[in-house]
Amino acid sequence: MARKNFKEFKKDQEFEQRTIDLARVTRVTSGGKRMRFRACIGIGNKSGKFGVGVAKGADVSIAITKGFNQAKKNIINIPLINGTIPHPVYVKYGAAKVLLKPAKKGTGIKVGGAVRILCELSGIANITGKILGSKNKINNVKAAMIALQSFKKVRKVESEQKESASAEAMADKEKK
């Protein structure tokens, strides 16, 4: 049993953990205010996998642990091409709008706020982007997750391009 726990521990260690947002939230009850902490945690292995979790707890450490466990459940794979994303993408989530574009090698990560943390954790080396609309970190992160999730697999895109090119070639032959 100890060996199994060691493997789980090792599996957890392959992901780097970063705190995106940490907030003290209160709920007003008849007895007064009840304070809790909300943590937005991002994890990633810097080679195309990342996840985000949001959780609350009575203490900061409890909230961070719960957020890490939630992030492990929400892991996403990104198809990276030469250290950048396959194509530009624009996503709106609530009032948050995120625009991400691929960049040339050597550009680096030119995205602000919480989206920068996601790009660093996921292993995207070259990207440009803009956060439009909301300044809410959690909504910006959710919009970025939807944007990065929207990419098709690289092999699917290549095969679709080959199919469309061959279909165009056949159509040109039929016209002649």
**Structural contact between residues 96 and 136, judged by C-beta atoms closer than 8 angstroms:** yes
DSSP 92: E
Would you give the distance in Å from CA 19 to the centre of its chain? 13
Q: Which pLDDT score, from 0 to 100, does residue 151 have? A: 85
Residue 129, pLDDT > 70, answer: yes
Alpha carbon separation from 115 to 17, 20, 121, 143 (Å, rounded): 15, 9, 10, 9
- Name which CATH class applies to 2-76: alpha beta
Q: Which pLDDT score, from 0 to 100, does residue 1 have? A: 45
Alpha carbon separation from 151 to 37, 78, 91, 155 (Å, rounded): 33, 7, 12, 11
Cα 23 from Cα 161, distance rounded (Å): 46
Taking residue 135's Cβ as centre, other Cβ atoms within 10 Å add up to 11
Q: Which pLDDT score, from 0 to 100, does residue 36 have? A: 96
Q: Which pLDDT score, from 0 to 100, does residue 167 have? A: 67
Phi then psi for 34, rounded to 5 degrees? -110, 115
Cα 101 from Cα 129, distance rounded (Å): 6
Q: Which pLDDT score, from 0 to 100, does residue 152 have? A: 76
Q: Which pLDDT score, from 0 to 100, does residue 171 have? A: 67
Tokens 């091409």 belong to 81
Mean pLDDT, all residues of the chain: 87
Select 78-152's CATH number: 3.40.50.300, 3.30.930.10, 3.30.230.10, 1.20.140.10: 3.30.230.10
Q: Which pLDDT score, from 0 to 100, does residue 14 have? A: 85
Mind listing the pLDDT tens digit for each residue in 73-104?
999 999 989 999 999 999 999 999 999 999 99
Alpha carbon separation from 144 to 47, 131, 157, 173 (Å, rounded): 17, 9, 21, 43
Residue 174, pLDDT > 90, answer: no
Domain segments of the chain: what residues? 2-76, 78-152
Percentage of the chain modeled with pLDDT above 90 = 70
Q: Which pLDDT score, from 0 to 100, does residue 13 have? A: 57
- Higher pLDDT: 155 or 92? It is 92
Q: Which pLDDT score, from 0 to 100, does residue 9 have? A: 45
Whole-model pTM?
Answer: 0.78
Contacts of 92 (CB under 8 A, 6+ apart): 133, 143
Percentage of the chain modeled with pLDDT above 70 = 79
Average pLDDT over residues 13-24: 90
Average pLDDT over residues 167-176: 68
Average pLDDT over residues 15-23: 94
